Structure 1
Amino acid sequence: MLPPIVSQIMDNFNFDVDPNLSREQNAEEVIKSAALLSGAVSIEPLPFADMLILTPLQAKMVLHIGKIYGFDITPERSAEIVRELGVTVAYGMAARQFMRGVAKIALPVVGGVVTAPLVYGWTFALGRMAQTYFERKIQGLPFQKEEKVQVVQEAKQQSRRMLPSSQDFSELAEELRRRAKEREQSGKGTEDGSTGDSHNTSGR
């Protein structure tokens, strides 16, 4: 069973295109937010669970970036793009994911905190890949393998400069857990007929 944090993340990862920002700036906001959320997911002390969580989160990131560049793609197509671009980004990731899962079995909390920067960088690079993919699609240009590798290398350097602290990842994960727990308790209260507090809950 996936943790409540998953639905909390997916429900909150929605962004409107800000007309006062350029396409690049809007895409930047989506990429940074998705990377931070992905890092927070890796804090979850469930071995290998985040491997199932990251893909839909990254697919939603691609869907948002596509909308920013004028492409109204389906969730299914966004997942396909993640797989297509992820081949370049994820070199060595399978082994690293496995070792991270093992680390969580041995040291649940430490295993997540230590590898959050890796997940952040991976998602950030994938976002940059998606951004370039749509930019070139607008221009009617192909996205060659050599160009993909260059984008990944540049994204890795940029993500290191923008990397949040381990405390940032932990605090976001804790906040998402808190919100998920509140919503879960609110739902149980409704099921039990306790509707009197529903207005207060929604107004927080």
Structure 2
Amino acid sequence: MLPPIVSQIMDNFNFDVDPTLSREENAEEVIKSAALLSGAVSIEPLPFADMLILTPLQAKMVLHIGKIYGFDITPERSSEIARELGVTVAYGMAARQFMRGMAKIALPVVGGVVTAPLVYGWTFALGRMAQTYFERKIDGLPFQAEERAQVVQEAKQQSRRVLPSSQDFSELAEELRRRAREREQGSSSAPKDIDQSQDRQH
């Protein structure tokens, strides 16, 4: 069973396009927020569970970036794009994911805190890839493999400069847990039909 933090993250990961900001600035906000949320997910002491959480979270990030650049794509299409672009980003990540899962089994909390920066950088790079993908799509240009590799390298350097502290990841994870607990308590005390109507509004 996945933790309540999952539904809390997915329900709250929604961004409006700010007309006072440029496309680049709006995309920057989405990428940093998604990367921070992904890092917070890795704090959860559940071995391998975050693999199932990160995929829809990153797909939702792609969907939002597409919206910023004027592409009203479906959630299914955003998942396809995330997988397509993620081939470059995820080079060598399978082994890292396995080691992260093993670290959580051996030492849950520390394992999550140590790997949060890796997950942040991975998501940040995927966000930059999606941003470049849509920028080039507007101009009718292809996004070649060599260009993708260059974007990843630049994103890795950028992510190190804006990397939040371990405390930032931990505090966000705790805040999401708190909200999830409040949501659960509210749901348990409300009639079932009311809960369902509220869920449809989210």
Indicate the residue corresponding to 1:59 in structure 2: 59
Indicate the residue corresponding to 1:151 in structure 2: 151
TM-score, normalization by structure 2: 0.94
Matched letter for residue 168 of structure 2:
D
Q: CA deviation at 1:191?
A: 4.1
Identity of aligned residues (%): 91
Q: CA deviation at 1:21?
A: 0.2
Distance 1:10 1:136 in 2: 28
- The runs of 5 or more residues in structure 1 that have no matched partner are 193-204
Distance 1:22 1:190 in 2: 42
Q: Does the residue aligned with 1:21 lie in a helix, a strand or coil?
A: coil
Indicate the residue corresponding to 2:70 in structure 1: 70
Q: In the TM superposition, what whole-angstrom CA distance separates every residue of 1:100-121 from its partner, at most 9, and x where no partner exists?
A: 0000000000000000000000
Matched, 1:90 2:90: yes
Matched letter for residue 138 of structure 2:
I
**RMSD value over aligned CA atoms?**
0.8
Q: How many residues align?
A: 192
Distance 2:39 2:191 in 1: 33
Q: Does the residue aligned with 2:59 lie in a helix, a strand or coil?
A: helix
Structure-to-structure mapping, 1:2-151, within 5 angstroms: 2-151=2-151
Q: Does the residue aligned with 1:182 lie in a helix, a strand or coil?
A: helix
Distance 1:3 1:94 in 2: 23
Matched letter for residue 24 of structure 1:
E
Q: Does the residue aligned with 1:18 lie in a helix, a strand or coil?
A: coil
Distance 1:23 1:6 in 2: 28
TM-score, normalization by structure 1: 0.93
Distance 1:107 1:116 in 2: 14
Q: In the TM superposition, what whole-angstrom CA distance separates every residue of 1:129-164 from its partner, at most 9, and x where no partner exists?
A: 000000000000000000000000000000000000
Q: CA deviation at 1:190?
A: 1.2
Q: In the TM superposition, what whole-angstrom CA distance separates every residue of 1:39-71 from its partner, at most 9, and x where no partner exists?
A: 000000000000000000000000000000000
Over 6 Å off, 4+ runs:
none
Q: CA deviation at 1:189?
A: 1.0
Matched letter for residue 148 of structure 2:
K
Q: In the TM superposition, what whole-angstrom CA distance separates every residue of 1:79-128 from its partner, at most 9, and x where no partner exists?
A: 00010000000111000000000000000000000000000000000000
Distance 1:11 1:36 in 2: 15
